[in-house]
Amino acid sequence: MLTCACCSFLLGLLEGVNITSPVLLIHGTVGKPALLSVKYTSTSNDKPVIKWHVKRDKAVTVVQSIGTDVIGNLRPDYKDRIKIFENGSLLINQLQLSDEGMYEVEISITDDTFTGEKNINLTVDVPISKPHVVLTSSTVLELSEYFTLNCSHENGTKPAYTWLKDGKPLSNDSRLLLSHDQKVLTITKVLMSDDDIYSCVVENPISSGHSVPIKLTVYRRSSLYIILSTGGIFLLVTLVTVCASMVPTKQVGAQPCPALHAQWPKPPTAQSPAVELATRWGRKGLGTRATMPWAAIPHLG
Ligand X SMILES: *[C@@H]1O[C@H](CO)[C@@H](O)[C@H](O)[C@H]1NC(C)=O
- Interface contacts to ligand X, rule CB under 6 A: 12-13, 16, 18, 20, 22, 24-25, 37-39, 85, 87, 89, 102, 121, 129, 134, 148, 150, 152, 154-155, 172, 177-178, 180, 182, 184
Least distance (Å) between residue 264 CB and ligand X: 35
Which lies closer to ligand X via its Cβ, residue 84 or residue 297? Answer: 84
Say if CB 140 and CB 222 are below 8 A apart. no
Least distance (Å) between residue 214 CB and ligand X: 14
Which lies closer to ligand X via its Cβ, residue 77 or residue 86? Answer: 86
At what angle are helices 256-263 and 224-246 packed, to 10 degrees? 160
Least distance (Å) between residue 128 CB and ligand X: 9
Which lies closer to ligand X via its Cβ, residue 92 or residue 275? Answer: 92
Which lies closer to ligand X via its Cβ, residue 93 or residue 230? Answer: 93
Least distance (Å) between residue 270 CB and ligand X: 26
Least distance (Å) between residue 122 CB and ligand X: 9
Which lies closer to ligand X via its Cβ, residue 190 or residue 235? Answer: 190
Go through 55-82 and write b for each residue having 16 or more CB atoms within 10 A of its CB, e for each that does not: eeeeeeebbbbeeeebeeebeeebeebb
Helix (H) or strand (E) holding 274: helix 273-286
Roughly how many angstroms between the first and final C-alpha of the chain, as a whole number? 105
Spatial CA neighbour of 236 closest among 292, 296, 291, 287: 296
Which lies closer to ligand X via its Cβ, residue 82 or residue 243? Answer: 82
Long-range contacts of 190-194 (CB under 8 A, 24+ apart): 190/140, 190/141, 190/142, 190/143, 190/144, 190/146, 190/147, 190/218, 191/142, 191/143, 191/218, 192/142, 192/218, 192/220, 194/140, 194/147, 194/218
The three-state secondary structure class of 82 is strand
Least distance (Å) between residue 88 CB and ligand X: 7
Which lies closer to ligand X via its Cβ, residue 25 or residue 192? Answer: 25
Q: What is the residue type of 245?
A: S
CA 30/CA 53 separation, integer angstroms: 20
Least distance (Å) between residue 152 CB and ligand X: 5
Which lies closer to ligand X via its Cβ, residue 85 or residue 213? Answer: 85
37, 85, 87, 88, 109 from 16: Cα distances, Å: 20, 20, 15, 15, 9
Q: Which residues pair with 146 in a beta bridge?
A: 188
Q: Which residues pair with 106 in a beta bridge?
A: 51, 117
Least distance (Å) between residue 160 CB and ligand X: 11
